Amino acid sequence: MSPRTPPGKTRDQIFRFVRDRLLDGFPPTVREIQDAFGFRAVQTVQAHLERLVTEGRLAKQKGKARGYTLPTGTPERPATFFVPLLGRVQAGDLNAAIEDCEGYVAVQQRGTELSRTRLPQEGSSAHHHHSPSQGALFALRVRGESMTGAGILPDDTVIVRSQPTADSGDIVVALIGDEATVKTLRIQRNQIILQPENPAFDPIIPEPDTCTILGKVIEIRRYL
Amino acid sequence: MSPRTPPGKTRDQIFRFVRDRLLDGFPPTVREIQDAFGFRAVQTVQAHLERLVTEGRLAKQKGKARGYTLPTGTPERPATFFVPLLGRVQAGDLNAAIEDCEGYVAVQQRGTELSRTRLPQEGSSAHHHHSPSQGALFALRVRGESMTGAGILPDDTVIVRSQPTADSGDIVVALIGDEATVKTLRIQRNQIILQPENPAFDPIIPEPDTCTILGKVIEIRRYL
DNA sequence: TGCTATACCAGACAAATGTCTGGTATCATC
DNA sequence: GATGATACCAGACATTTGTCTGGTATAGCA
C-alpha cells in the first residue's frame, strides 16, 4: 500500500492532472489516472473523482468513456469553435467566400453571445452547412489604415458576426460596390455614414442600395 | 440503405464533425459519429475515419476509446491549445500566477513557434507542473493607455511567449518592481529602455536588476 | 474504547467502444 | 460485360473502460 497522503492533497493533484488533459483535448480514463499516480486500485481514483464531482470541480458523463469534463459554462473553459477566415469577399456572395475560405480561426464563446451556444451533445447535425445566416461568425483580414484610430491596423484579423443591421457606433464590415470594408457605423437622421477612424480618410456616405452591412466586428486580433 | 452521397462529401462532413468535437474538448466515439449521421453500420464510419487518417487529416491512437485527434499543426489547420489568462502578476512569481489563473484562452499555433508543440500523447505526467519555462505561453490583460500608438488599447488581451530576453523593437511584458507592464523594448548602447507608444508617457529606463523581461507579445486581441 | 472520515487495495462484472469478416449497391472506366 | 473504386449495411468479437462489492489501514474525536 502506498504511503498515506494528507487529506485532499492527492485529490488536488488528480484534479490538475485531469484538467490539464482536458485542456489538451484528450480526457483521461480512470485507469490512465491510476497509472499516472501509481495506484494499485482503480477504485482509489474513482473515489477521488467522485468527490471532485460532488465538490463541483469536475463534471462527468455517467458510463461514458473518458467522461470527465470541466463544468460547462465556467470561465475556465468557454466553448471554442472554428470560424472561417475569408480571403476576399466578392459582391454579396458571402456563401461562396465561406465555402472557399483560407482556413479556420479558433474563437471562444464570450459572455454576450449565449444564444448560439453549441453543447457537445447537440453536436453538429450530419448535414449541417456553414451558412452566413444571421449570427454566424466569420473572420476577415483588414486592409488599409482607415481604422488605426480605433486600434485596428492593416493586416489585423477581425471576427465578425453576420447581421444585416447594426447600431450607431458599432464597428461593422460593409460591402460597398465590390469591396468589403471595416468602418464605424454612424446613423444620423436616418442616413448611414461609414466613418473611418483616421483623420486622413473621409467619411463614406453611400448611395442607398449600394451598401450592405455584412456584420458587426466583435473581436480584433493581431499577430506579431 | 441510405442514399448514396457524392464521393468525399460525407467524409468531409465527418471530418468537420470530428474536428469540432475535438475543439470542444471531447473526442467522439465511432458510434457517436454513426448516430450523428444516421448510419446503420459502424463500419461505414470506420472506413471514412480510416481514410481520413491515411489522408493525414486525422490522427488516431489505435485501440483507445475516443482515440482520434487532429494531426499536429498543419498550416491549414494550426494546432490549437489553451493558455492561461493571468489575473495579476506579482513580483516574479509567474508560476503562482499560472496556477491561479482566471481562465484559459484558445491560441492557435503560428508558423514560427513550431518548437513548443505539446502532443496529446506526451500528456502530463502525474506530478507535472505548469512552468513558465522558456517558450511557454500565457495571456495577460493590458492596463493603461501607454501603448495606444501601437494599436494596443486598455483591456486588450495580449498573448505572451515566455523568454528572458528579446530584441530591440519587440513588444514585451516586463516586470518592474511589483508590476507587469507592456512596452516596446529598445536596446541602446547595452542599455534597456522600455518605450511606451504614446506621446503622453515617458520612456522607462530601469535600474539594473530591477527589471525582468517576462516574455514577448506575439498576439493581441480585443473583444468588443 | 468506539465512531467516523479518509486514503488506499483486490478482484470482479458490465457497459462502452474499437475492430473485424463478409456482404450489397452504385458509379465510372476499360 | 468485367473491373475497380466508393458508399454503405449486418452482425459479431475483443479490448478498453466505467462501475461495483468488499476489504485494510491510519488519523482524529467524543
Q: Is the CB of B61 under 7 A from strand D?
A: no
For residue A179, the model assigns a pLDDT of: 82
Q: What is the mean pLDDT of residues B162-179?
A: 90
Min distance B209 CA to chain A CA atoms (Å): 28
Helix, coil or strand: residue A108: strand
Min distance B56 CA to chain A CA atoms (Å): 16
Kindly report, residue by residue over A177-212, the tens digit of the pLDDT: 778 899 999 998 888 999 999 999 999 998 877 888
Closest chain B CA to residue A20 = B124
Residue B204 DSSP class: B
For residue B121, the model assigns a pLDDT of: 33
Kindly report, residue by residue over B29-69, the tens digit of the pLDDT: 999 999 999 999 999 999 999 999 998 899 999 999 999 99
Q: Which parts of chain B fold into alpha helices (H)?
A: 9-23, 30-37, 42-54, 94-99
| Band of residue A48 on the pLDDT scale cut at 50, 70, 90 | very high
Distance CA A160, CA A134 (A): 11
Closest chain A CA to residue B157 = A221
Is the pLDDT reported for residue A129 higher than 50? no
Kindly report, residue by residue over A23-46, the tens digit of the pLDDT: 888 999 999 999 999 999 999 999
Is the pLDDT reported for residue B91 higher than 60? no
Interface touch A217/B224, C-beta < 8 Å: yes
Higher-confidence residue: B92 or B191?
Answer: B191
Q: What is the mean pLDDT of residues B114-124?
A: 36
pLDDT mean across residues, chain A: 81
For residue B157, the model assigns a pLDDT of: 94
From B77, B120, B219, residue closest to A25, measured CB to CB: B120
DSSP string, B15-57: HHHHHHHHHTT-PPPHHHHHHHHT-S-HHHHHHHHHHHHHTTS
Is the pLDDT reported for residue B196 higher than 90? yes
Q: Which residues contact B12 (CB under 8 A, 6 or more apart)?
A: none
Helix, coil or strand: residue A99: helix
Is the pLDDT reported for residue A149 higher than 60? yes
Q: What is the mean pLDDT of residues B123-132?
A: 39
The one catalytic residue among B146, B162, B168, B216: B146
Kindly report, residue by residue over B202-216, the tens digit of the pLDDT: 999 988 778 889 899
Please choose, from the candidates B78, B87, B71, B64, the residue with its C-alpha nearest in 3D space to the C-alpha of residue B138: B87
Catalytic residues of A, by residue number, are 146, 183
Can you tell me which residue has the cell 477504485?
A43
pLDDT mean across residues, chain B: 82
Distance CA B37, CA B27 (A): 16
| Residue ranges of domains in chain B, CATH in brackets | 9-69 (1.10.10.10), 73-224 (2.10.109.10)
For residue A167, the model assigns a pLDDT of: 93
Report, in ranges, which bases of strand C sit under 7 Å from a protein C-beta.
6-12, 15-22, 24-27
